[in-house]
Amino acid sequence: MEKTSDTKDVILQKSICLFAAKGYDGVGVQEICSAAKITKPTLYYYFNNKAGLLQAIVATKGHDFLNCIALAAQFSGDFIFSLNTIINSCAHFAQENPDFFRLHCTLQTASPNSEAAQQYLPLSQTIDEVYLNFFKKSSEQIGNMRSKEIIFSRMFRQIVDSACLDLLSESTRKKNIHLQAIVHAFAYGVVSG
């Protein structure tokens, strides 16, 4: 039984790595099988096809990421503290799961009609809802956000994803990016707007 779980995990990890590096459409089933050192029938046994493999990635790592965001986006009553919690939690997740995070960012910008984007869309929409709910709760205290919660939630989500992706680049790691400065710049725009 353990061998089954190990094989499945290896296939998932190798697929995440390949999809992050080359994009979902840029990776064939044979390439995944070669990287995971399995046969095509083995991949088909566990996942049915490449689309099933992406579904499994979304169901595992994607939901881990969603849970990370949902936990961090519990509005604490302190807007800046809450924003810092969100960006720091996402940065930690990205650093612990760099290939998945790169894949996440790639799927966010994939052609809307592509198979990959369609498979990722429900998770992406749920993440959007978590951010929006956070900003709706925050707008009860910060009047400048009222009726602009959708704009602010989308903007902040993009800032978080971009900052976390930037943290993963070799050149940025050496520069010591300050996530707090990003949050303060965003919050200043919200409060002064």
Average pLDDT, the chain: 91
Amino acid identity of residue 157, one-letter, is: R
CATH of the domain at 106: 1.10.357
Residue 46: the pLDDT is 96
Distance, in Å, from the CA atom of 178 to the CA atom of 184, rounded to the nearest integer, reads: 10
Assess if residue 1 is contained within a domain: no
**By C-alpha distance, which of 83, 61, 69, 47 is closest to 17?**
61
What is the C-alpha to C-alpha distance for residues 14 and 21, in angstroms, rounded to an integer?
A: 11
pLDDT higher than threshold 60 for residue 174: no
Question: For 109-155, what is each residue's pLDDT tens digit?
Answer: 889 999 999 999 999 999 999 999 999 999 998 888 889 999 999 99
Q: For residues 193 and 189, give the distance between their C-alpha atoms in angstroms, rounded to a whole number.
A: 6
Do the domain assignments include residue 81? yes
Containing structural domain, residue 183? 58-192
Specify the number of domains making up the chain.
Answer: 1
- The verdict on residue 108 lying in a domain is yes
Residue 40 lies in a domain: no
12: number of Cβ within 10 Å? 19
* Whether pTM exceeds 0.85: yes
